[in-house]
């Protein structure tokens, strides 16, 4: 999973507002789903979108 999968998304826009985009991708790279979720919650991403992102992270596990 890489940045191309998130380019132009609301998730990145909201993470950028709180200056946490790099932290988010570090969490993804480390397969740290709880940290990625915490960052999205902090950025006020809605629960439905978080669920979709978590599914993408888990589906890409080991392929990044």
Per-domain residue ranges for the chain?
3-59
- Residue 54 in tokens: 């978590």
- From residue 11, alpha-carbon distances to 7, 55 in Å are 9, 14
The answer, yes or no, to whether residue 57 has pLDDT greater than 90, is no
User: What pLDDT sits at residue 61?
Assistant: 65
Cβ 32 vs Cβ 19: under 8 Å: no
User: What pLDDT sits at residue 8?
Assistant: 55
- Residue 51 in tokens: 């669920």
The pTM score is: 0.81
**Structure confidence by residue, pLDDT tens digits, 23-43:** 999 999 998 999 999 999 999
């Amino acid at each position: 999973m890489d940045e191309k999968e998130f380019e132009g998304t609301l998730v990145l826009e909201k993470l950028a507002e709180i200056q946490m985009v790099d932290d988010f991708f570090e969490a993804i790279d480390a397969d740290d789903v709880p940290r990625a979720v915490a960052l999205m919650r902090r950025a006020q991403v809605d629960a439905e979108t978080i669920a979709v992102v978590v599914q993408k992270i888990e589906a890409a596990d080991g392929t990044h």
